[in-house]
Amino acid sequence: MDIRQLLGLPELLEVRSLVCVQPHPDDNEVGAGGTLLTLAQRGCRIVFVTVTDGRWGAEDPTVSAQDLIAVRRGERDAAGQMIGVAVQLELGFEDGGDYEERSVMEALIPILRKEKPELVMTVDPWMPYESHPDHQKTGRAVAAAVLAAGHIQFPEAGAPYGVPQVAFYGSSYPNTWVDVTATWETKMAAIFAHKSQFDNTEWPLLSQYFADQAAVAFRNHAPMPGVVSSGYAEAFKVLSRRQLHFFPSAVYL
Give the nearer residue to Zn ion in terms of CB position, either 120 or 147: 120
Where does 170-202 have alpha helices with state H?
184-192, 195-198
Of 10-29, binders to Zn ion (CB under 5 A) are: 23-24, 27
DSSP assignment of 211-244: HHHHHHHHHHH-SSBTTB----EEEEEEEEGGGG
Of 195-214, binders to Zn ion (CB under 5 A) are: none
Give the nearer residue to Zn ion in terms of CB position, either 135 or 242: 135
Give the nearer residue to Zn ion in terms of CB position, either 27 or 124: 27
Q: What x-and-dash track marks residues 153-172 binding Zn ion by CB under 5 A?
A: --------------------
Give the nearer residue to Zn ion in terms of CB position, either 131 or 229: 131
The residue with its CB nearest to Zn ion is 24
In 79-118, the DSSP E strands lie at 87-93
The residue type found at 118 is E
CB of 30 to Zn ion, least distance (A): 8
Give the nearer residue to Zn ion in terms of CB position, either 17 or 172: 172
CB of 123 to Zn ion, least distance (A): 7
Give the nearer residue to Zn ion in terms of CB position, either 98 or 156: 98
CB of 206 to Zn ion, least distance (A): 14
CB of 22 to Zn ion, least distance (A): 7
Spatial contact of 45 and 18, defined as CB atoms under 8 Å apart: yes
Any idea what DSSP says for residue 19?
E
Give the nearer residue to Zn ion in terms of CB position, either 21 or 250: 21
CA distances from 159 to 29, 91, 146 (A): 31, 21, 13
Report the alpha-carbon distance of residue 83 to residue 34 in Å, rounded: 8
Q: If binding is defined by CB under 5 A, does position 187 make contact with Zn ion? A: no
Q: Is the sign of the CA dihedral 160, 104, 21, 92 positive or negative?
A: positive
The residue type found at 102 is R
CB of 231 to Zn ion, least distance (A): 26
Of 27-66, binders to Zn ion (CB under 5 A) are: 27
CB of 92 to Zn ion, least distance (A): 16
CB of 205 to Zn ion, least distance (A): 19
In 116-161, the DSSP E strands lie at 119-123
Report the alpha-carbon distance of residue 199 to residue 17 in Å, rounded: 32
CA of residue 108 relative to chain centroid, distance = 14
Spatial contact of 188 and 32, defined as CB atoms under 8 Å apart: no
Per CB under 5 A, residues contacting Zn ion are 23-24, 27
